Amino acid sequence: MTETTFWAYYGGIIRKTWGKSKWFRVLFIISIVWAALRLIAQIVLAADPVSSQLSVDLQVYLDAATHFVERANLYPASLEILEYHFPYPPPFALLFTIFLKLPKPVTIFLHMAIHILAYYLLFTRWGKIFNLLRLDKASETLIRTLPLWFVFVGFWDDLIYLNIYTIMALLVTLLIEAILDENLRWSVVWLTVILLTKPHFAFAAIIPLFLSRYKFFFKMILWAIVSYAAISLFTILVGRPDYVLGQYQDYFQLLTRLGNDFPWRGPEAGFLGYNHSIKQIFAFYGGTAGSTLTIATVVKLVLLIPLAVVTIPRLLRPVRQLEQAESWILEVILLLYLGIFVWLDIVWEAFLTIVIFGYLLSALRARWQKILLSCIFVPYAILDAWRLIAYASGSPMITDAYLQWDYSMYFPIIMIVILTFYVILAARQWPRPARRAG
């Protein structure tokens, strides 16, 4: 499906939905006006020479690039100031050296443009995936949820801080699409980039095993390893072997100690904060003692049992053609994605829940189920709008990072959304005994 045919197809759905639903028209207009004003405000703030500051996460990447050029340490010994730690391998720092010579406003606007483009592509690629799997109802619901896409907190938070959450959501999506389309070249490209940024998002690499594409799988893994090694070797040659190899050692040590060294917020903190991982939830309500964190790990393992029950039989009895898996393959992929967030110790966001929400609205039949789903997800989706309204209404700041009237500081709304979607998908894909004939 080309870009032209995409908009020809989805443009028809938009016109049809616009004509049939007054609520869609109202919400669409409100959301697009809000998004336009929100974007203008962001641009004005970025252009102001007095108030314009590089977003925290972008500044971390640029600082890492500076450290790479100066052959300084990329990885801090302490995670006490969590916002300023660099969690990516040395090639990531090398990549950002190309931005060091640009003026700060140019750097900001360039990255804002990249994020906006990535968000647009994320929307269109999921439309193409739904089309590839012949999920017509999901395609229609993708359009009906378009107002939420305009206000979605995941995107606006990322545009403020200029992290790579939007880009990672797009990379995972592109990898899923390339694998389903059996495109080896692009599968290798996207998998390699993911391994060089957030390796846990490489979960999509196992999709070929559900479809009996073993040759494709091993080729993809082999070429991704070769590509990763080639990029790492290039980084070593550019940055000197002793320096880069030392940084790689520190990088892998950081990954192993991240959960242990994380500054967990206990009951004395007064509020949960923005990390909504299961371990952080246990630490806040039960204390930060080692025994509490161990219990949290056990709970995570128990929660992942349904994922194993669903996926292992599919892996042991793979189908031969994609057409044979159209009714379940996407749900298993989305379940794997949510399982990653159940396991992670640091959960700031769950970007693809905007896609999963739309898909589940199309898949669930009962009206009460859809209403309940919306009551759980919409408060998370509109969180950015709520924060702005609360701030404009006079909500005090507890610190520079926390707004007192921000309900996501007190309730783990992200994990609630993740677990709700996880349970629904696991229940839908739970193995059922075959009916006896006769």
Cα three-residue angle 80-277-168, rounded to 5 degrees: 90
Q: Give the span between the Cα atoms of 433 and 436, in whole angstroms.
A: 9
What's the mean pLDDT in 189-200? 97
Q: Give the span between the Cα atoms of 361 and 374, in whole angstroms.
A: 9
More confident residue, 65 or 86: 65
Measuring CA to CA, which residue among 167, 150, 183 is closest to residue 88?
167
Give the pLDDT band (50/70/90) at residue 49. low
Residue pLDDT, tens place only, 297-339:
999 999 999 999 999 999 999 998 888 888 899 999 999 999 9
Q: Is the pLDDT of residue 257 over 90?
A: no
Percentage above 70 pLDDT, the chain: 95
What's the mean pLDDT in 128-136? 93
Q: Is the pLDDT of residue 105 over 90?
A: no
| 92 C-beta neighbours (distance < 10 Å), count | 20
pLDDT confidence of residue 273: 92
Residue pLDDT, tens place only, 10-24:
888 888 889 888 999
What's the mean pLDDT in 259-270? 86
Place of tokens 């090639």: 91
Give the pLDDT band (50/70/90) at residue 79. low
pLDDT confidence of residue 85: 81
Average pLDDT score over the chain: 92
Give the pLDDT band (50/70/90) at residue 432. confident
What's the mean pLDDT in 78-104? 86
Q: Is the pLDDT of residue 106 over 50?
A: yes
Percentage above 90 pLDDT, the chain: 77
Q: Is the pLDDT of residue 228 over 80?
A: yes
Q: Is the pLDDT of residue 248 over 90?
A: yes
Cα torsion angle, 245, 246, 252, 255, sign: negative
Residue 435 makes CB contacts below 8 A (sequence gap 6+) with none
What's the mean pLDDT in 152-167? 95
Do the beta carbons of residue 404 and residue 395 sit within 8 Å?
yes
More confident residue, 279 or 86: 279
Helices 136-144 and 3-20, interaxial angle, to 10°? 70
Give the pLDDT band (50/70/90) at residue 438. very low
Q: Is the pLDDT of residue 76 over 80?
A: no
Measuring CA to CA, which residue among 67, 31, 280, 66 is closest to residue 155?
31
What's the mean pLDDT in 16-37? 93
pLDDT confidence of residue 3: 72
Q: Is the pLDDT of residue 81 over 80?
A: no
**pTM higher than the cut 0.75:** yes
Q: Is the pLDDT of residue 288 over 80?
A: yes
Q: Give the span between the Cα atoms of 145 and 352, in whole angstroms.
A: 13
Do the beta carbons of residue 210 and residue 243 sit within 8 Å?
no
Give the pLDDT band (50/70/90) at residue 54. low
Q: Give the span between the Cα atoms of 53 and 436, in whole angstroms.
A: 67
Which tokens hold the place of 303?
């929660």
SS (H, E, C) the chain: CCHHHHHHHHHHHHHHHHHHCHHHHHHHHHHHHHHHHHHHHHHHHHHCCCCCCCCHHHHHHHHHHHHHHCCCCCCCCCCCCHHHCCCCCHHHHHHHHHHCCCCHHHHHHHHHHHHHHHHHHHHHHHHHHHHHCCCHHHHHHHHHCHHHHHHCHHHHHHHHHCCCHHHHHHHHHHHHHHHHCCCHHHHHHHHHHHHCCCHHHHHHHHHHHHCCCHHHHHHHHHHHHHHHHHHHHHHHHHHCHHHHHHHHHHHHHHHHHHHHHCCCCCHHHCCCCCCCCHHHHHHHHHCCCHHHHHHHHHHHHHHCHHHHHHHHHHHHCCCCCHHHHCCCHHHHHHHHHHHHHHHCCCCCCCCCHHHHHHHHHHHCCCHHHHHHHHHHHHHHHCHHHHHHHHHHCCCCECCCCCECCCHHHCCCHHHHHHHHHHHHHHHHHCCCCCCCCC
For the chain, the domains span 3-429
What's the mean pLDDT in 37-63? 79
pLDDT confidence of residue 437: 46
Q: Is the pLDDT of residue 247 over 80?
A: yes
Distance of alpha carbon 438 from the chain centroid = 47
> Between the CA of residue 131 and those of 5, 10, 174, 212, 354, what are the distances in Å?
11, 10, 14, 22, 18
